[in-house]
Amino acid sequence: MGDTKRRLDRPWIRITLGLTGLLLLPAGCAGLAAYSFSQAGEPAPVDCAEAVAFAHATLPGSARDAHCTEMRWRDTYIEIGFAMPAAEAAGWVAGTFPAAEASSSEEGLHASYPPEAGKAYEVGIHVRYEGGDTALVRVVAYDS
């Protein structure tokens, strides 16, 4: 037992252990950062019921060709797209997002919500009318 204590009293052992720790700490942090960035992937399909709930909305009964994607990393970003009858689009937007305000003609409407777990803080609503009787709706929602 006295022999083990004597080996650790040598300064070069303590210096070697200290330098090893100093070198491994930044390498570990860099590895963790690289892993974290690798998780910020491409948009992935997500269930539209979950997506519209996140955006404080519901899909209209007349919605067609709905597709929903999400990207997650530090924030959650969800995009919802669907077609619906043009005559119903304005009513759906007004009923679903009553607090939405126009940001600009290019940006569409915008609604902000107080922070709530599992829900979007910001929602953008874009409606484009196609061919007279069809409206293409895109809703973008994110939580920061």
Query: Two tokens at 32?
Result: 């963790």
d(CA 143, CA 127): 21
Output the tens digit of pLDDT for each of the chain's 144 residues: 555 555 556 777 778 877 787 777 887 777 776 666 665 667 889 999 999 999 999 999 999 999 999 988 778 899 999 999 999 999 999 999 988 887 765 668 888 888 888 899 999 999 999 877 999 999 999 987
Whether residue 103 contacts residue 40, with contact meaning beta carbons closer than 8 Å, is answered with: no
What single DSSP character describes residue 117?
T
User: Three-class SS of residue 8?
Assistant: helix
* Listed residue (82, 68, 67) closest to 126, CA to CA: 82
Q: pTM for the whole thing?
A: 0.70
d(CA 49, CA 71): 16
